[in-house]
Structure 1
């Protein structure tokens, strides 16, 4: 357990330097993504549209999943959980 904790601490402290982009990639990236990622990055407007649409879908999914985890509204007598609960499984 202590070895695993030590490894996680090392990754946390020194991992940030490993995942930052190199100097060549910093120059090739758009201004928003500089020093964040390696590679060519988004090459046009369509790439940015795809990124934003997927970010909106992920954000909506996260919000709805938290909403239904906190208040599931399962009070109806014909809800599926009541079948299992009433049968005594």
Structure 2
């Protein structure tokens, strides 16, 4: 049994009982009984879209901030 960075076991993905209950494309990845309806897929898809957009907006604001004024507090502190 190999341990990861945080000391977790590599066999922590999915047990044999969980693999049998999951849909084909989720087998071996997740634990539990699996999705109970199509709304589960919709909710997870929306969460993924929100997360990806949030990460995009974060990188965009870090790389090219819209704050261009020379009298802003950030520029006063950085330029002094």
Same fold (TM over 0.5): yes
The structure with the greater share of residues assigned to helix is 1
Gaps of 5+ in 2: none
Tell me what 1:36 maps to.
29
Tell me what 1:6 maps to.
none
Moved over 6 A (4+): none
In structure 1, how many angstroms separate the alpha carbons of the residues matched to 2:4 and 2:55? 27
In structure 2, how many angstroms separate the alpha carbons of the residues matched to 1:16 and 1:49? 31
- 2:38 pairs, out of 45, 52, 77, with 45
1:26 aligns with 2:19: yes
Task: Mark the CA change 1:55 to 1:37 in structure 2 (over 3 Å): closer, same or farther.
Answer: same
RMSD over equivalenced CA pairs, Å: 2.7
| Mean CA deviation greater in 36-45 or 71-80 | 71-80
* Structure 1 residue 70 displacement after superposition: 0.8
In structure 2, how many angstroms separate the alpha carbons of the residues matched to 1:80 and 1:42? 49
In structure 1, how many angstroms separate the alpha carbons of the residues matched to 2:51 and 2:74? 28
Residue correspondence of structure 1 range 70-85 to structure 2 within 5 A: 70-77=63-70, 79-82=72-75, 85=76
TM-score relative to the length of structure 2: 0.76
